Amino acid sequence: MNNYIEANCEFLPLNKPRYSEDSGLWCLWFPDISEEHCPWAYSVIRGQEPIPVFVDTYEEAKEIYNHYKEVYRKNKGDKINEEDNS
């Protein structure tokens, strides 16, 4: 859906879309992907910052939020199924 998010961020968004008075845009925050693709908590420990993603409309922000929330759920479910099958 969004090449920048997929290349630089871990899924699940850290928050629901929020309006930024400073920029006049809608913002979503995603965990920064680390070199080892480690979970967000490890990224924080290593001093990595969450990545803001700005879009023009609430509808676009909500669509991105819902899409990556679903991707996260699907990936989490796939990992659980893989563990159950091993």
Concatenated DSSP letters of 61-85: HHHHHHHHHHHHHHHHHHHHHHHHH
Please report which confidence band the pLDDT of residue 6 belongs to, taking 50, 70 and 90 as the band edges.
Answer: confident
pLDDT value of position 51: 86
pLDDT value of position 76: 79
pTM of the model: 0.71
Distances (CA, A) of 82 to 12, 16, 31, 67, 77: 20, 29, 24, 22, 9
**63-81 pLDDT, tens per residue?**
999 999 999 888 876 665 5
Structure token pair of residue 25:
């845009």
Q: Work out the mean pLDDT of the chain and round it to a whole number.
A: 79
Cα 13 to chain centroid distance, Å, stands at 4
**28-40 pLDDT, tens per residue?**
998 877 655 555 5
